[in-house]
Amino acid sequence: FFFFFFFTPGMMMVRGSILLIVVVVAAILFVEPSLAQELNCTIDDYTATYTACRADNKRDLVYYLNLPVLCSVGGFVPPYKYNLSCNLACDEGYYLPMGNTQCAQCSPGSYSRGGAILFEKFYDWPSSGGLLFNSYCLVGLRDPVKSLSCPGWQLEGAYLMSGNVTHSQASVLELNTIIVSSIAHVHFTYRVDAERNYDFFYFEVDGVIVLPKTSFTLTYVDFRANLTAGYHTLRWIYAKDVSLSGGEDAAFIDMIEVSGTRFADDACTPCHRGTATEKYGSEKCDDCPLNTYADSENMTSCKPCPTGTYSFEGSPSCLPRLACTEKDFDFNHTKCEGPKPGTQLLQYHWLEPIICDPSNSNSVHLPPAEPLACGPCDSGFYRDERTYQCVACASGSYTDGKGTNNDGFTTCTSCNAGQAAIKEFNITNFDAWMPNSDTGCAGKCGSPGWRLRGDFIDSGVGHGLNVDVWFSFDVELYQPGTLSFQYFLNCSLCKLTFSTEGPNGNLNGSIANAYAILGRNVDVTLDLPMGRTTLFFNFNKQSTTFDSSEEKRRNDLVRLNYIFVDGVEDGGASSCTPCSQGSVANQGAYMCTNCTAGFQSNAESTNCVACPPGQFSSVSGLPCRLCGEGTVPTADRTSCTLNCTYTLPGTSSTFDFSPLSQPSFYTPPIVISDHTYLLSVCNQVPAKNTTCYDDEGKPLVTSSCQITPDGYGIDLGNLLAYAPLADYADSVTGLDMIYTGGLAGCARFYNKTDVPRQTVIHFLCDTTAGKGIPVPKGALENKMCVYEFEWRSLYACPECSMDDVEEVYGPCVYGKRQIHYYWADNPTQCHDGIKLPPTRVVNCTITTLTCPAGMYVKDDGGNASDEETCVACPGGTFSLGGGLRIDNWNNGGSGDDGNGNNNNNQLPPGFNHINTCTGGQVCSQWRVAPDGRSLLSGVGSSALGATYTFNLPGTVKFHYQVYISQSGSFGFFIDGVIRLYEGAQKIMTQPREFFFDVEAGVHNFKWSFFSGRLDSPNALDFEGAYLYDIEFMGLDSADAQCTPCAPGWVSSSNSSSCRQCPANTYANGRHTYCIQCSAIDANSYSMPGSEVCLPRPTCSDEDYYLVYGDCTMNGDGTLSRSASYTRKMPSICLDGPLAYRPPAPAETQCAPCPDGLYRDGAQCKICADGTYVDPSSPVSDPPCKAPEGDHYLYKELAYFTTDGDNHWSAEWQTGCHGDGCFNSSGWRIRESCIESSDHLDGRVDSWVSLYIQIDASTYTTEASVHFLYDVDQTGPQNNGLFFLIDEVPHMLISTTSGEQTFPLNVGAHSLKWIAHKEAGGGSTVSARVRSIRIRGSVRGPSFASVCPAGTSTAQKTSSDVYNCALCPPGTFSAVSGASECTRCPAGTFASSQGSTGCEPCPAGTYTEGEGAAYCITNCSFTLRGGQVVDLSRLDSSSSAGSVSDSDHNTYYISPCEMTYCNPTFNPNADKKTHVCINTLGGDVLDGGSLLASVEQYNNTE
């Protein structure tokens, strides 16, 4: 067995000796006896190690035997060394041998980093020297949190890559380390290619950024940062902003070195294969040069490759040279020399490096040099007759290389005025490197750089791991120019990067995703700035392992076929370029001169002229352009005025944004993911503003400024234009303010041509928002290079005009007609401007013309001579033919609901609120319901009146719906006479229609609700009524105007009514047809009667519920059932083949049978009548049995007690009424419960009902209904779950869980659950009911119970198992299971069957012994004063009193003797009584059988 002893660093030396003894003893136990006798241990059988450093900075060198022990200690133990210094340091190339105090040089074939730890391979996460890396992801830019949503940095073998991160995420590589040396560093090489100035790679030490944020590097870059002694956290971070990507969208690290974690190396590291060093004290090993190799570790020199083989740099082996082919050599041309016309040599040479075998008999040979006539010069150059070299045309002249003189040499031609000879380089001949060019390679290079190939240049071949091969040259541009080149990429793991280094030294630009375009020529064109610029072309091969494929080594490269640059100082012109509209040129010019701001060139580009009217030019050299819609040029035509008032063309809608101007020019900052946005509305930003400036510190004159995390601004638009509101439903009022002309550049990340940025502010009318503030509209760049904001504001509404007012014509009465005015929208969608005009009276003539519904007659203004005609109503309107219908109450105005809340309840003409309050009563007004299509009664008493003149006999018609749970009542009156009444306990699940005929004349109408309670804390107090679709017919023989259809409703021409738009369509007013939501957005929906479509959310698990199939018997005798997910209805989430669907569940076990049923195969069955399921019976036997003698049976129906109920049975019905039902058909069955469906905005009554029969013969059972419930709701307190028995409400539950039990009488009953939801945003309800049990039903399984108190088993018959014998009158039983009934003691009685106790006789009465069913009296009573009252003579049959009431009920009174009420009585069923009541309907009732005397006194005696 093992011994393990642990000692802390501060223990005494003697304990080290104890440790040695323990280790030796433990080791001896593992020595094999035969070997122990033969082998003595040597130093090679031990391993040396240091103890931990102690407080005095000292440590010891100790040894332990290697396991398993294969030698005998034999007395040999290596000597320990004590008190060695912990901080002996060695430089690079040196190491500290174990136990020594002097550093030693590394031998040839090895190296040392001086205690530093170097990581160059990343197949596994590095953990050398106690260093442990951790990679993770951060989400969020302001307060980032760790997340598993992205993988972090990824291992790629030869390098690390930042992984797949998306917007607002950061990939973090973290290293926590303890530095022990005072001289330490971290050193790494990195490369990054990301969205410029937005996505970054950076490096932190202890939370401080030491490598500034970088978006792009051309090649791998070295970085070194010093570290102090102590604990440090190092983090390499690649972070992305909120949108867009660029380049490779990644950062790469191919080497990390950390020094200072230890003072010295304990040993030198052998050179890896492919490397060697022959010197002492090496800090690294060198890669083997070309055609050499190192096939093992620890080599001091590289071996030359054998004949017929070759190798690339850093190779561990050599590869065979193949026979040379035409692909292995290339050509070049010598300089052109005289005499005329000039000649040059075509020379051939082997491509470097030479990897083929020219001596192979199958190799091709180099062709001999060939003399050729000098070829033509490139465009813009001609051949000098003295030197025979190509020189550029003189400034202002050009040549296209086609025109020649008599000697065959090309000539140059001067350009005309208005044109310029733009100088250019057009390089198609690559026989020599262009001036100021350079090339090189870093990494495992096969070629030292790019190669000249005559007709092209390429990046060379034979490259291995992580190679960067660059080629660069300088150009001097005298004006902004363009660069064009064509590349051919032939490497799947490679990419070509192009970059420029301009006058400020910044690298920028990249061919995004160029590595993906393989095997074809690709043309690229980019803009270049004026001045000296260095052009960089870099070939990067990003490989995880050294590629040994011969074909890949030969062909992994990129080729440049031509390079074209114009605007260069030393070039030549190939043509004359017409000057742009903003510049001019004289004869023989080599560049065009810009016109100043406010001017542009004439048509010939020979002179500058002022901008035309309506146009401006803000920058020299640009053509004039139109000012934005709604603005005009300034006097100097260099900008456009910021006009803050705008009228939409063709309308009277005028917008005034001047109240939104800011004294500081810009709105308060809008910060999104470390970027700040400033917007200027109605302010002229000064040219020298200090708020927004570019990366060179120059102020930006812009109305929309983006400030990057680095602090500089980007122009997102500076030219204002107004436009109608776009991308919103027609029902939304507002205006778009668009700023164009921002900085170009963002589109390159979409692989498109750069376009200027622009900002769109969607001003949305909101009369409740005040000035409001702008907020982003979703992701800021949903559209390419467009930054969108929403600004809800009162001042986004137009000023009120007559377009916002509607006229309503009253009836013509005695030659006069009132015209009423009210706001067309509620709430109003305008501000300030005009006031609502007062009602005016105009002359009219009662028309004698009858126009049918769908037509109208125009008012003749009282001129009887005008001929009247009926005119068809246009589409989107309707008429009743002389009537008035009110189905939309959103007319503006305000009122109070009795709770201090203002409500929009301005009434149509003819309507008024009636004050019915007297003496401190609570009163309120009817108010517009949230759906806008109905009126809702208020709190307390509320009355609504209307007065109309009927010129013809007509009708009044309306729909109503009441919720009366206790004392409320609803009434409708015509001329003071009640015509409709609904009393207490009335709850309607859908509106009812009422109509009444009226005569011609003036009529007053009143709708009243009393005791209204809408938002009471007691949920069952909810009382209220709704009014819909009030219609008056007979006001006239024809309508004077047509009524517009409400939003969400449409009509064709000649219509008498409007029809509601179905689900997933909309109409926003006066439409003839409903518009499909899919025509606007394929992923939108609407409810019936909608004026706008809404975006569909993405489906999730919450949109589905689990449905089980029936239980089935499998072939192996097991039971199972299917399960599937069903979409909840109404369904509004995204559908289609790509929509989310939960994974299909596996088959599940069958649900247990409900209580009272037993399983027979796949079915659950009910025991035969008279028996019940005995839970104690074995499962294999039918568990049915008859009840015991002291038990009885009762029947109980149970629903939704297990998840086995999956179908509605015949006694159930369900439905839904209201706008929010959408396509919901009512309640649905869920696992173990029923659930009201999900409902959308709008009022809803979703109901489910159960029809049951309670058995009259089971008199022992107390019948009841019991259920469990859960209710979740938001919004009004009257949202919740109603429960009704026979349409009588018994409860309303809001936001709670619980159970309820209600008694049931014998007979049929309707049980109904209603999930009620009011309309309005944020109003929701969800109800679930389960474990519904109906006790005492006529059918269902039987259950056994002990006979209750009030019964006995003595008289119980064996045939009637469903009842116990009730104790007869005069007897009782007080406990369950009694064997017999007990007679009542004398002086007590039990008048009913089934008594559980006896009552004492009242004063003045007595019994004639035990077992009395009633008490008797002699009708003689002694009062407290001693007086005796004798009433016995009132009790003779002749004097028995009788009296009738106003309802014709007759009462028979026998004060002293009891009698039977029925002449043909049944002694077992009927009993004697003192008072009998014969009702008008023929019923005979017991009016009182127990006599008691009570003395009563008045105040004086």
Give per-residue pLDDT as tens, 96-114. 998 888 999 999 999 998 8
Give the tens place of pLDDT for each residue, 906-959.
Answer: 677 788 888 877 666 678 888 887 767 788 888 788 899 999 989 889 999 999
**368 compared with 1482, residue with greater pLDDT:** 368
Burial class (CB in 10 A: 0-12, 13-18, 19+), 723: middle
The yes-or-no verdict on residue 996 having pLDDT over 90 is yes
Q: What is the mean pLDDT of residues 1388-1400?
A: 90
**243 compared with 1170, residue with greater pLDDT:** 1170
Give the helix/strand (H/E) hosting 654. strand 654-656
pLDDT number for residue 1209:
87
pLDDT number for residue 1016:
41
Q: Is the dihedral of CA 811, 813, 815, 820 positive or negative?
A: negative
pLDDT number for residue 616:
92
pLDDT number for residue 405:
47
Which band of pLDDT confidence, cut at 50, 70 and 90, is reported for residue 1438? very low
pLDDT number for residue 17:
36
The yes-or-no verdict on residue 1499 having pLDDT over 70 is no
The yes-or-no verdict on residue 1437 having pLDDT over 60 is no
The yes-or-no verdict on residue 9 having pLDDT over 60 is no
Spatial distance between the Cα atoms of 601 and 1109, rounded to a whole number of angstroms: 81
- Strands 774-776, 675-679: pairing is unpaired
DSSP 8-state symbol, 990: S
- Say what the pTM is: 0.47
pLDDT number for residue 601:
94
pLDDT number for residue 75:
63
Which band of pLDDT confidence, cut at 50, 70 and 90, is reported for residue 557? confident
Which band of pLDDT confidence, cut at 50, 70 and 90, is reported for residue 545? low
Which percentage of the chain shows pLDDT scores above 90? 22
CA atoms within 13 A on the CB side of 330: 17
Which stretch of 541-550, 645-654, 940-949, 1063-1072 has the lowest confidence by average pLDDT? 541-550
Q: What is the mean pLDDT of residues 832-856?
A: 85
Spatial distance between the Cα atoms of 386 and 363, rounded to a whole number of angstroms: 43
pLDDT number for residue 36:
42
Which percentage of the chain shows pLDDT scores above 70? 85
- Strands 356-357, 322-323: pairing is parallel
Give the tens place of pLDDT for each residue, 204-252.
Answer: 999 999 999 988 887 889 999 999 988 899 999 999 887 777 778 899 9
Please report, for residues 400, 581, 1286, the alpha-carbon distance to residue 424 in angstroms, rounded to integers and kept in the order given.
Answer: 12, 22, 96
The yes-or-no verdict on residue 993 having pLDDT over 90 is yes
Region for 157 from its dihedrals, namely left if φ exceeds 0, alpha if ψ lies in -120 to 50, beta otherwise: left
Q: What is the mean pLDDT of residues 1159-1173?
A: 87
Which band of pLDDT confidence, cut at 50, 70 and 90, is reported for residue 605? very high
pLDDT number for residue 382:
86
Which band of pLDDT confidence, cut at 50, 70 and 90, is reported for residue 18? very low
- Asked if residues 147 and 137 have their Cβ atoms less than 8 Å apart, the reply is yes
Spatial distance between the Cα atoms of 962 and 982, rounded to a whole number of angstroms: 8
pLDDT number for residue 897:
34
Please tell me whether residue 811 adopts helix, strand or coil conformation.
Answer: coil
Which band of pLDDT confidence, cut at 50, 70 and 90, is reported for residue 173? very high
Instruction: Kindly provide the b/e burial profile for residues 573-591, where b requires at least 16 CB atoms within 10 angstroms of the residue's own CB.
Output: bbebbbbbbbbbbeebbbb
The yes-or-no verdict on residue 507 having pLDDT over 80 is no
Amino acid residing at 323: A
pLDDT number for residue 726:
83
Which band of pLDDT confidence, cut at 50, 70 and 90, is reported for residue 1269? very high
Give the tens place of pLDDT for each residue, 1003-1037.
Answer: 999 999 887 665 443 444 567 888 988 999 988 88
Give the contacts of 459 (CB within 8 A, at least 6 positions apart).
Answer: 447, 450, 451, 469, 471, 539, 557, 558, 559
Give the tens place of pLDDT for each residue, 578-600.
Answer: 999 899 999 999 999 999 999 99
**57 compared with 1397, residue with greater pLDDT:** 1397
Give the tens place of pLDDT for each residue, 954-985.
Answer: 999 999 988 886 677 899 999 999 999 887 67
pLDDT number for residue 1259:
67
Task: Count Cβ atoms below 10 Å from residue 222 Cβ, excluding itself.
Answer: 9
pLDDT number for residue 610:
95
pLDDT number for residue 19:
38
**Strand ranges inside 1156-1257, DSSP E:** 1157-1160, 1163-1166, 1172-1173, 1184-1185, 1191-1199, 1212-1217, 1228-1230, 1233-1235, 1244-1254
Which band of pLDDT confidence, cut at 50, 70 and 90, is reported for residue 818? confident
Q: What is the mean pLDDT of residues 1417-1422?
A: 78
**pLDDT mean across residues, the chain:** 81
Give the tens place of pLDDT for each residue, 111-163.
Answer: 998 888 888 878 788 766 667 888 899 887 666 778 776 788 988 877 899 98
Give the tens place of pLDDT for each residue, 161-171.
Answer: 998 888 888 99
The yes-or-no verdict on residue 904 having pLDDT over 50 is no
**Strand ranges inside 1288-1323, DSSP E:** 1288-1293, 1296-1303, 1307-1317
